[in-house]
Amino acid sequence: MDIKCPKCHSDNTDTARFCSNCATPLPSSKDIPVTETIETPTEELTRGTTFAGRYEIIEELGKGGMGKVCRVEDKKLNEEVAMKLIKPEIASDKKTLERFSNELKLARKIVHRNVARMFDLNEEKGTHYITMEYVRGEDLKRLIRKIGQLSAGQVIPIAKQVCEGLAEAHRLGVVHRDLKPQNIMIDEDGNARIMDFGIARSIKGKGITGAGVMVGTPEYMSPEQAEAKEVDHRSDIYSLGVILYEMLTGQLPFGGETPLAIAMKHKGEIPKNPQELNPQIPNELAQLILKCLEKEKEKRYQSAGELRSELEEIEQGLPTTERAMPQSKPLTSKEITFKFSLRKTYIPGLIAAGLIVIAVFIWQIYLKKPAQVSQAIHSIAVLPFEDLSAAKDQEHLADGLAETLINTLSSIKELHVPARTSSFFFKGKEQDIREIGQKLGVESLLEGSIQVAGNRLRLTVQLINVADGFHLWSEKYDKTVGDVFVIQDDIAQSVVKALKIKLLGEREKVLFKDYTESREAYDLYLRGRFFWSKRGKTDIEKAVDYFQKAIEKDPGYARAYSGLADSYAVLASNQFIPPDESYPKAKAAALKALELDDRLAEAHASLATILHLYDHALVEAEREFKKAIEINPGYSTAHHWYALLLANLGRHDDSIEEIYRAQEIDPLSPRVNAEIGVILFFAREYKLALEELQKSVELFPEDIANYRYFSWVFGQLGKYDDAISSLLRAYELGGESSALDTDLALIYALSGNRNEAQKRLKDIIENSKLNYVSPFEIGRIYASLREKEQSFIWLEKGLLEKDARLIFINVMPDFNPLHSDPRFTELLKKMGLEK
């Protein structure tokens, strides 16, 4: 979870100890007390409003040390620009404003393709603001967080462009003084753009910045900055050295508890050779970085041009395939220009050789696919899309688009696609793509973002090779919202082509099936799935409402009926409402979905679990599960639910195989990981069950199900204290009390503490008069107390009420005391568990 700076309100990683923008200690710092600065907005700027009679607000881009930054449309010039609103407490200092004004005059002189233009400093009704060029893209810090260690082939082209931008600024007498990855944008064409020369100052000028003031970000500042001494262009070279270090190692050369501690390390501590952190760094490049980080500026590179020349020479020694930079846009859309000169053009042989070299260069850099993807990639994770809409009200659409692509791609037998739960595990988290790829077991990642404004939809997607961070494919769609179905199919087709997966027949024509022509119905369906995924009672009830509204808009919408079936099934299985109220509605909805489309894997799986748990039609249930898996072998839920059916049929080896297959598809699903332990528990593999539950707890320490299932296993092993401790932990985490109460009474019954068990059982039965309690669970407690008559009374009651849990009677070891009774065999026959 990101940590918000209490002073400038910018976001920082959860490992940061101080703000990367303004160097304020974050809440975790114990050394310096944090004082929150109160920002008083002079005007509420929302999307569509016009500021200063000229700038129409499009969206807020973020907040930094100086203030809020917005993307706006300059109505006077009819173009988009960035506008930085300076905080009142900063703008109230006349000397500060004078400094900004003087420095801006200098920064405006810089006109270069690798520098974002600075425009004006103005005032509107007491609010001071700076306008600057708006650069579409991603900042270098975010790229480093995603990829971790970049290769030399990726780093050098970026560094060369930064050098070119700095060289122009330094030529004009301007030093950046706050160069850091957050201030370097990688634009949509893959070019590096240096941002924010707002605190730059003239090398020649004096007195613009107050003497003795330390300016910059501690992680990236030069030793002379740390001592608040005079700086020149060589300070920027030092900062670029820190950036190169971080790009290649994924780490900063110096860390510390406070900004001052880090600044002092820059002043006096020798950095570790970056090769120690990443042995893949060429020795020449490591030495270049260390030269940039020399404490004495006379020992560093003396100009950005000199540094660039050195980078150029090192680049020539790299393998050719490493020199290709990842592209953020399709190469066919990029304008490519090459400039070269041949001194002896009158010699035909040299001309021919030169042309061959150029041709090879073009082919290697722009046309040849990266070596890592010369063969087909067979695994991909679709990460949740980011909602960039100004109102942040399109999360359901962002999630829905990603989920639809997961469902579409998972139906391809040649492709391994982690399920929604696992892919969405990383939602809102900044992680190295290699770490994500490792956790999900995939070779590639698809990520994207959406923006909705009125009826317009902007969707940006990119396919990334996990091994090296290269973009295999990317695209931007500017369409109407109604074109969303066409976009989804185009993305799926493009991904398949980029991964070199060969499809045959009809699958090659259309991957994404358009289930409705109603945009409103589709939006309502996505909202339903959004709430369904949360699984709480109130959330599921909202999901039911949205699915029903979607059906009203389009009575032929098969997926909406499937969603309705899933919602009613969850309401029953979680004991939110009695099963005889919910399962019939779930079954009707599933049958209607299949009537409209019998190739809907989700509906077959939903019908199968209803036939299993409610109708006890086990043969028919298995047929439906197999049909769902045949249609979509990558549908984890079908494998998961099928494993439970196989366990009840006594086919434990098959059951264990299916639950592990579900985990393979959905490795970060809390439910699947926990229920591996349950499946092993049913198979009486108690030791293995404990091992799997321990793994699940390590992944999901606050998942209540793990502790419930621990208590079941400990109870059968006679470790009653451990079982009770597990349940107490579940109570602490806010577990549903009625379920935990029955589990706790069961443990007391198994341990021989009859008085405590009967006392709790009495309370449970009283509660069942007001709220639904599974008769199966009460029968289970009586069976553990060896009170057979009472146990059979409650089990028969469960049979009449169609208690979904009753189907597990033959695999629950708590019912062992009943096995020798003929009534137990008769009960099994009634449920189709014995012939």
Block mean pLDDT (10 aa), the chain, length 835: 61 60 53 34 66 87 76 86 83 74 78 85 86 87 82 92 93 88 86 77 39 63 86 94 95 86 89 93 95 95 94 84 42 30 37 44 38 56 86 83 83 83 82 81 88 82 82 82 74 79 52 70 86 83 93 92 91 81 93 93 94 93 95 91 95 94 91 95 94 93 93 95 93 81 94 94 90 91 95 94 90 94 92 79
The neighbouring-strand residues paired with 387 are: 450
- CA 409 to CA 511: how far, in whole Å? 8
Q: Which CA distances in Å does 357 have to 96, 351, 364, 722?
A: 54, 10, 10, 72
User: Which pLDDT score is estimated for 88?
Assistant: 79
Residues 624-652, buried b or exposed e (16+ Cβ, 10 A)? bbebbbebbbbbbbbbbbbbbbbbbbebb
Tell me the one-letter amino acid at 135: V
User: Which pLDDT score is estimated for 691?
Assistant: 94
Determine contact, residues 714/723, Cβ cutoff 8 Å. yes
For 210-347, where are the alpha helices, taking DSSP H only? 223-226, 233-249, 259-268, 274-277, 283-292, 304-316
Residue 355, helix vs strand vs coil = helix
The neighbouring-strand residues paired with 81 are: 72, 133
- CA 382 to CA 534: how far, in whole Å? 19
User: Which pLDDT score is estimated for 65?
Assistant: 64
Those residues with Cβ within 8 angstroms of residue 804's Cβ, 6 or more apart along the chain or in another chain:
572, 573, 579, 583, 613, 614
State phi, psi for 376 to the nearest 5 degrees: -65, 140
Q: Which residues are catalytic?
A: 178
- CA 634 to CA 412: how far, in whole Å? 8
The structure's pTM equals 0.56
- CA 58 to CA 73: how far, in whole Å? 7
Given phi > 0 = left and psi -120 to 50 = alpha, else beta, which region is 222? beta
**773 DSSP assignment:** -
DSSP string, 383-413: PPPEE--TT---HHHHHHHHHHHHHHHHT-T
Strands 3-4 and 201-202: unpaired
User: Which pLDDT score is estimated for 329?
Assistant: 35
User: Which pLDDT score is estimated for 687?
Assistant: 93
Determine contact, residues 786/816, Cβ cutoff 8 Å. no
For 733-785, where are the alpha helices, taking DSSP H only? 737-751, 754-768, 775-784
Those residues with Cβ within 8 angstroms of residue 374's Cβ, 6 or more apart along the chain or in another chain:
none
Those residues with Cβ within 8 angstroms of residue 802's Cβ, 6 or more apart along the chain or in another chain:
579, 580, 583, 614
- CA 638 to CA 659: how far, in whole Å? 10
